[in-house]
Each structure stands twice: as structure tokens, then as C-alpha cells.
Amino acid sequence: MKLHYLFSFGIALLSIFGCKNNSESTVVEEKKQPNVLFISVDDLNTMLGSYGGPAKTPNIDKLAAMGVQFNDAHCQAPLCGPSRASIMTGLRPSTSGIYGMIDDNKIVSDNPATKDIVLLPEYFKQNGYHTMGIGKLFHAHAPEGVFNESGGREKGFGPSPKVRFVWDGYGTSDRKNYGRTSTDWGAFPESDALMPDHQSVNWAIKRLQKKHEKPFFMGVGFLRPHVPLYVPQKWFDLYSLDSIKTLPYLKEDLDDVPPIAHKINDLPMMPSTEWAIEHGEWKNIIQAYLACISYVDYEIGRLLDALEDSEYADNTVIVFWSDHGYRLGEKSTFAKHALWNVATKVPLIFAGPNIPKGKVVNKPAELLSIYPTLLELCKLPSYSKNEGKSLVGTMKKENTLDKIVAITTYGYNNHGIKSSRYHYIQYEDGGEEFYDLLNDPNEFHNLATLPAYNELLENFKKDLPKNNAKWDENSKYKFQPYFVEQKARVNPSKNKSK
């Protein structure tokens, strides 16, 4: 009896301590829910070192080595406002009707598609995360109340000299119909500390040094390399003009594209490639852009170093992305604003716990996938309204069998569809472009009119969005006359009532 009693007592003790240990392990497991560092960079194309480009980007290259780099990622709109709205809502522009710029606070409106939408940072907040954000994350900064802590955003794009260096912002445009751009380039100001991006990183570093009881979502939005292409002289010094190579350009390149493509590409407020050649500025513009990339790489390095030195280093998912690409003389101009590959292709990198290191994915991917991917990586419930697909499976084991495409939309019913080899563009009036990127990576030769490609074109048409929503009334783009005319035409009753 005594032995039986001792045995039973021992079992009871083991049971008690076992329960305690299980309870403790549950708490530990809860604490291990990963944090998120959400890094957005404005107007950044894929000229980065890790992408094989000429920019000196040791910190971004290091981040790529820590995780998975997507070599063929594409934005859902080649313009800041609608691209960021798509990422944050999880909806395609063709679903939301957000084709132009939009006030951050009006993204969620009486628009049937967005009225009940939960924005990406809000979803994390609703699931127990402490949310923080600074800089350009949505178009301006963020809707009110999205973040528990907001550092805001300094108005504009940083300090400017009293007189522009090169470009007046108007070019040859009709000033009544076009806006003025902040496009200009040159060494300014004297110190990194005077740049808004520097202050944003300072703000983020302070919060990485704090103790957080909850898992956190921290968004840091960088302004450079958005124009004006101003950074201190030391960043220009990294790139001698002799070392700068101009990008592929064919003067007759656009002779074979539909008339509507010329309308959309009508950007006289931007420097044209012919102007840059004539005035000897092409290399100077590229030098300034590369200098801006190296500057922002430095600031990202400061942010990543602070994370590495913090207690959150081993339990934070990092996503690094840009809202769209940027043309630096390709396709006749220096701008985004197009459905061509150079304007839609973006860097996209994920790193963190349980993410493969040093992996490169060459299949097409969409920025629309950021929202569902972060949810899966953070073990949060999926959000049924997300139109993008999680990339977690692709990161862990790239499936080579599935057909994968990336879709970009620019305005109402203008779409580009990118597969691994081909790029198909269809405009609202039925005009088409088709490029074989294996044999024509610069998209110089439009194959859409050749009968030999008819079957391929028909297959691509199956991937066009089935729904093309009218323009969201809160979204507009007065910078470009084509879009002003298109919105008035697509939404006639709304315009007549005003």
C-alpha cells in the first residue's frame, strides 16, 4: 500500500509539474509569434547589387542573403497611390477602382469594394499586434488610427536648394493641363542628418530599443530614390561619370505600339531621353539615381543593424519592397507611368524565422501577395478578401509546374500580364502589345500583330481581370490628361452631377 501510495503521489507530482511546464511552454510559444519589419522604398527599380545592377547596396544585398529574393516581382499599378492602396487593401486596382492618387483617409470609403476592408496594419492590430509606422507607407503616410504609434511623415521629399539645379519641373508641358514634378538632380544637402529618411530611421531605432510586451508590426517608409534626386555629395562620389553606363534605348522603339500607349506615355513635364542625350544629362541622371539608392541602402543598413542589436533579431519577419519601377531613359523618358517591364518590375525580399536563406525565385510574383504572405508567416488567420496569394509555399519549395503570372493595371481596363517569358499588354480600346522577353528583354519589338502569336495572345487574355470597376470617386490623377479624360468618360453620371 505504501509503495502504491508513493507511486501515485509521484505520478501526481509529475502531472502537476508537467501541466506547469506545458503552461510555461504555451506562454513561451505565444511570445514567439514573430514581429514584422515592413520596409517600403519609393520609386526603387531593380538596379540593386543583389539583382545584378550597378548600384552599391551592401545592406540590401546582405538582407537578400538572409532570406528569399524575388527576381521577377511586379507592382499592381505603376504609380505610388494605387500601388500602395493595392498592397494595403489586398485588392487589385481593377477591383477597387483606385487607379489614381487617393487621400489615405479615403481609401476605405463608401466604395463597395473597400467600405468594409481591413487594411494590412489594421489586421495585425486586430490580431494583438502593437503597430508602429513612420514615413511614406501609404501614399502620404497612413490613414488616421491605423497605427498605435505614428511618426508621421515630413511633408514633401526632403530639403531643396533655393534654385533648382537642372530641371524646372515643367519641361515642355502645357502648364494648364499638367502638374509640376519635383524632378531634378544634384548633390544636396550637405549632411545625411538633414534627410527625412535619416530621421525616420532614428525614430524606428528608438522603438527597436524598447521593451514590447506584444509582438509588433513596424512600417518604415523611405522617400529616396523618389525625385528630386538630391542626396549629399559623398553618395555621388561613389559613382564616377566615366563608370556610368546608359541604359538600352531605341529611338524608334515606340513606332510599333498602339496610339493609346503614346497617350499614356505623354509626359512632357519629365525629361525625355532625346533631351537628356542632346543636353549631355543622361549619365548625370543615372549617377544621381544610383547615389540616391546607395544613400537609402545606408539608412536601411542603420535600421537592420538596430534590429540585429535588439532582442527581436531572431524573431522578426522582414519584408522589403518598392511600389513600382522607374525608367531611366528606357522607353523614351525618365519616369514610372507605364505598363512596360521597366516601370512595373520591383525588388521584393522576405527574411526572418523559418524563411530559407540566400534563395532566389525567378518566377513572377505580385506585391499583392505581401499581405497574405505576412499573415501566413506570422501564423495569423488568412483574410478572405485578399486577392493575392501567399508566397510562403514558393519560398520554401518553388513549384515549377503551376502557371504563374503577375498582373499590373494602369487606369481603367489597361492591363499588363507578365509570365516567366512573355509580357502581354491590352489597353481599354483593344490595342495590344506582346513581347518575348527571352529574345527581346528590352521590349523593343511588339509582336502582337503577328499571326504566329495569336494562340499565345488568346491564352494571356484568359488571365485579364474579369471585373473592371469604375474609378473610385476619391481617386484621381490630374497630372496626366489621359487619365482626367478617362475618368470623366468612365464615370459620366458622377461628373455630370458635379
Confidence band for 249, pLDDT divided at 50, 70 and 90: very high
pLDDT at site 14: 40
pLDDT at site 479: 87
pLDDT at site 4: 42
Q: At residue 238, what is the residue type?
A: L
Q: Tens of pLDDT along 271-281?
A: 999 999 999 99
The answer on pLDDT for 105 being more than 90 is yes
pLDDT at site 297: 98
Confidence band for 178, pLDDT divided at 50, 70 and 90: confident
Confidence band for 177, pLDDT divided at 50, 70 and 90: confident
What is the DSSP secondary structure assignment for residue 242, as one 8-state letter? G
Is residue 276 a contact partner of residue 329, using CB atoms and an 8 Å limit?
yes
Distance CA 19, CA 16 (A): 5
Q: For residue 388, how many other CB atoms are within 10 A of its CB?
A: 20
Task: Please give the average per-residue pLDDT across 32-56, as a whole number.
Answer: 97
Q: At residue 198, what is the residue type?
A: H
Q: For residue 358, how many other CB atoms are within 10 A of its CB?
A: 11
Give the dihedral sign, CA 139/144/149/153.
positive
pLDDT at site 288: 98
CA trace torsion 187, 57, 51, 347 (10° rounding): -80
pLDDT at site 7: 39
Is 130 marked active-site? Answer: no
Is 80 marked active-site? Answer: yes
Range scoring the smallest mean pLDDT among 1-5, 241-245, 434-438: 1-5
Mean pLDDT of the chain: 92
| Interacting residues of 204 by C-beta distance below 8 A, sequence separation 6+ | 132, 134, 151, 218, 220, 303, 306
pLDDT at site 399: 61
Q: Tens of pLDDT along 369-396?
A: 999 999 999 999 999 999 999 999 999 9
| Interacting residues of 457 by C-beta distance below 8 A, sequence separation 6+ | 424, 432, 434, 448
Confidence band for 69, pLDDT divided at 50, 70 and 90: very high
pLDDT at site 480: 87
Catalytic residue among 74, 130, 139, 423: 139
Q: Tens of pLDDT along 319-328?
A: 999 999 999 9
Put simply, whether the predicted model's pTM sits higher than 0.85 gets the answer: yes
Could you give the percent of the chain with pLDDT greater than 70?
92
Task: Quote the Cα angle for 239-245-248, to 5°.
Answer: 145
The answer on pLDDT for 230 being more than 70 is yes
pLDDT at site 402: 65
The answer on pLDDT for 79 being more than 90 is yes
Q: Tens of pLDDT along 440-465?
A: 999 999 999 999 999 999 999 999 99
Q: Which three cell numbers stand for residue 401?
A: 509546374
Q: Tens of pLDDT along 274-304?
A: 999 999 999 999 999 999 999 999 999 999 9
Which architecture, in CATH terms, is 34-496? 3-Layer(aba) Sandwich (3.40)
Confidence band for 19, pLDDT divided at 50, 70 and 90: very low
Q: For residue 188, how many other CB atoms are within 10 A of its CB?
A: 18
Catalytic residue among 75, 80, 292, 378: 80
CA trace torsion 108, 110, 112, 116 (10° rounding): 50
CA atoms within 13 A on the CB side of 126: 13
Closest CA to 232 of 153, 154, 158, 156: 158
pLDDT at site 32: 77
Q: At residue 457, what is the residue type?
A: L
Q: Tens of pLDDT along 324-373?
A: 999 999 999 999 999 999 999 999 999 999 999 999 999 999 999 999 99
What is the DSSP secondary structure assignment for residue 403, as one 8-state letter? -
